[in-house]
Amino acid sequence: MSSLQSQNVVARSATTLPTPQVRNAVPAVAKLIDESKCIGCKACQVACMNWNDLRDEIGHNVGVYDNPADLTPSSWTVMKFFEVESPSSSGSPNLEWLIRKDGCMHCDDPGCLKACPSPGAIVKYANGIVDFISENCIGCGYCVKGCPFDVPRISQKDNKAYKCTLCSDRVNVGLEPACVKTCPTGAISFGTKDDMVAYGEKRVSELKERGIQNAGLYNPQGVGGTHVMYVMKHADKPELVDLPKDPSINPMVSLWKGLAKPLAVAGVVGAMVAGFFHYMKVGPIEDKAEKEEV
Amino acid sequence: MAQKLLQRYKDNDRMNHWFMAIMFFMAALSGLAFFHPSLFFFTNLFGGGQWTRILHPFMGVLMVLSFLGMFLRLWKDNVVTEADHEWRKHAGKMIHGDKSNMPPVGKYNFGQKVIFWVMAGSLTVLLLTGFIFWRPWFAPYFSIDFMRFAVLLHAVSAVVLILATIVHVYAAIWVKGTVRAMTRGTVTESWAKLNHPLWHKEVTKGQ
């Protein structure tokens, strides 16, 4: 799939010049996943397969409901199930069954895009969707190192990286993502980022009223906020559902794809220029006597 | 006046060196393509991005293997000795064109020895870190955090190796009569007396 020309590409991997910027009257979008409404039916997984023509290999039961056990190149969203014991007022711990729909978070500051060495293999549209343009992907796996959420998966068949597109093709023509359309409980909603933040906060206050004290909205600012957000029952401990508490692009990646790039190029070019001028100024080391004889 | 020529490198040494040099250039150009967007056009030399990604590690491994050949031949001559400290003290003046104070050196001077060990060290790091994120075969065995560390270290040591090579090439051009040691295997006697007098004494002993 090639870049969607009807949308602005506001960031493009391995590109130093500005991308097309004129179509700017585009609201940022977001998907809001409300854990408290999710029943773990996996209809979203099926809808994702259906819309994106994905059919993962039949795997093995690993003893829990997670199926497949993790994201794969052909499973862009996966329901993850967590059995958590939390303290209760009665003294004996509450057993809670937390369910999280895993997939790309569509970071506003995407680490995959920062790490990607191939021009245009990863783009961010004006609406905030981060998309992999597979035809430009070279299969190096740098996006895996850049991502703070361990999302991209590289296919063994074609050596291309894959992940949730937030149904960029559907959103582009005014439809909501397939998982949102299919969710039977309304646990997944889609709209402008502002609306989704407002709706998420409303849901959080409703949950708090019902005694879920640590409810909160997961929209981590360390990656500039995300275009996939969660309403969580335990927002104080996102690790319970296998999410980092305060994710950001790893400092080693920032250094490698930040300061190191211009410094190294300046160093290499500088060394060559210095050599040239040294030769011009000082001249070669040679046997002066030998030259005079000639 | 016909100059007497001294053999500095055997044919095998030279072929080994040039194979390594070709591998270095291919590995360096393909690696730089992934390092900075402004250099991505180097992938055109190797058949596009995918092919460059596929070929780069093989060129790197061949470079390291051929360096190993050079290493086994030359490491003894590159052991840093007490005498090298004297050379180091006067190196600054030499860079400004005054070679008069330089102590007599053997087969390699201190600068050459430093380049040799910097290359040996950076190539070792490049080899070890390169395997850690070599897709698709080796990367899956390592954690993401470990790979982040490896790519950073790989990039840093690659830059060190490239800088060392620039110094190496420049020194060969700067010191007239040096390049033929690798292109033809021989140097002139006056070159040897001027730049490596102890080595000159050694190879002309008993003649």
CA atoms within 13 A on the CB side of A128: 23
Helices (H), chain A: 43-52, 111-115, 142-146, 168-172, 178-182, 193-209, 251-256, 260-282, 288-293
CATH number of the domain within which B33 lies:
1.20.950.20
Full 3-state SS string of A9-53: EEEECCCCCCCCCCCCCCCCEEEEEEHHHCCCCCHHHHHHHHHHC
Q: What ipTM score was computed for the predicted complex, to two decimals?
A: 0.91
Q: Are residues A206 and A264 in the same domain?
A: no
**Does a structural domain hold residue A251?**
no
CB pair distance less than 8 Å for B38 and A16: yes
Check if the beta carbon of residue A106 is closer than 8 Å to that of residue A11.
Answer: no
**Does a structural domain hold residue B181?**
yes
Count of structural domains within chain A: 2
Q: Are residues A197 and A277 in the same domain?
A: no
Nearest CA in chain A to B154: A256
Domain of residue B117, residue span: 9-75+106-197
**Does a structural domain hold residue A138?**
yes
**Does a structural domain hold residue A4?**
no
Helix (H) or strand (E) holding B14: helix B11-35
CATH number of the domain within which A70 lies:
3.30.70.20
Average confidence score pLDDT of chain B = 95
CB pair distance less than 8 Å for A278 and B170: yes
User: Which of B56, B96, B154, B168 is the catalytic position?
Assistant: B168
Domain of residue A73, residue span: 9-246
Count how many pairs of residues, chain A against chain B, have C-beta atoms within 8 Å.
Answer: 124
Q: Model confidence over A186-209: pLDDT tens digits?
A: 999 999 999 999 999 999 999 999
Q: Model confidence over A30-49: pLDDT tens digits?
A: 999 999 999 999 999 999 99
**Does a structural domain hold residue A242?**
yes
Give me A118's structure tokens: 């191939």
**Does a structural domain hold residue B96?**
no
- Give the per-residue pLDDT at A148: 98
DSSP summary character for residue A153: E
User: Any catalytic annotation for residue B168?
Assistant: yes
Q: Which residues contact A33 (CB under 8 A, 6 or more apart)?
A: A100, A101, A187, A188, A228, A229, A230, A231
Q: Among partner residues B37, B152, B167, which is closest to A119 by beta-carbon distance?
A: B37
Q: Are residues A188 and A283 in the same domain?
A: no
Residue A292 pLDDT exceeds 70: no
**Does a structural domain hold residue B93?**
no
Q: Are residues A194 and A264 in the same domain?
A: no
Contacts of B170 in chain A (CB under 8 A): 275, 278-279
Categorize the per-residue pLDDT at A294 as very low, low, confident or very high, splitting at 50, 70 and 90: very low
Q: Are residues A271 and A176 in the same domain?
A: no
**Does a structural domain hold residue B1?**
no
Q: Among partner residues A144, A145, A261, which is closest to B35 by beta-carbon distance?
A: A261
Give me A126's structure tokens: 């004006």
Nearest CA in chain A to B38: A16
**Does a structural domain hold residue B53?**
yes
Q: Model confidence over A102-153: pLDDT tens digits?
A: 999 999 999 999 999 999 999 999 999 999 999 999 999 999 999 999 999 9
Q: Among partner residues B159, B173, B188, which is closest to A268 by beta-carbon distance?
A: B159
Check if the beta carbon of residue A191 is closer than 8 Å to that of residue A27.
Answer: no
- Give the per-residue pLDDT at A293: 45
**Does a structural domain hold residue B150?**
yes
- Give the per-residue pLDDT at A7: 67
Q: Are residues A134 and A272 in the same domain?
A: no
Q: Model confidence over A219-277: pLDDT tens digits?
A: 999 999 999 999 999 999 999 999 999 999 999 999 999 999 999 999 999 999 999 99
> How far away is chain B from the Cα of A101, in angstroms, using its nearest Cα?
22
**Does a structural domain hold residue A105?**
yes
**Does a structural domain hold residue B47?**
yes
To 5 degrees, how large is the angle CA A217–CA A226–CA A241? 55
- Give the per-residue pLDDT at A4: 54
Q: Are residues A149 and A228 in the same domain?
A: yes
Q: Are residues A173 and A83 in the same domain?
A: yes
Alpha carbons A108 and A225: distance in angstroms, whole number: 6
Closest CA to A270 of B37, B16, B166: B166
Higher-pLDDT residue of B171, A59:
B171
Categorize the per-residue pLDDT at B122 as very low, low, confident or very high, splitting at 50, 70 and 90: very high
Q: Model confidence over B21-40: pLDDT tens digits?
A: 999 999 999 999 999 999 99
- Give the per-residue pLDDT at B121: 98
- Give the per-residue pLDDT at B107: 95
Q: Are residues A123 and A147 in the same domain?
A: yes
- Give the per-residue pLDDT at A157: 95
Count of structural domains within chain B: 1
Check if the beta carbon of residue A34 is closer than 8 Å to that of residue A16.
Answer: no
**Does a structural domain hold residue A141?**
yes
Q: Are residues A148 and A16 in the same domain?
A: yes
CB pair distance less than 8 Å for A140 and B97: no
Give me B71's structure tokens: 């290493």
What integer is the mean pLDDT of A155-175?
A: 95
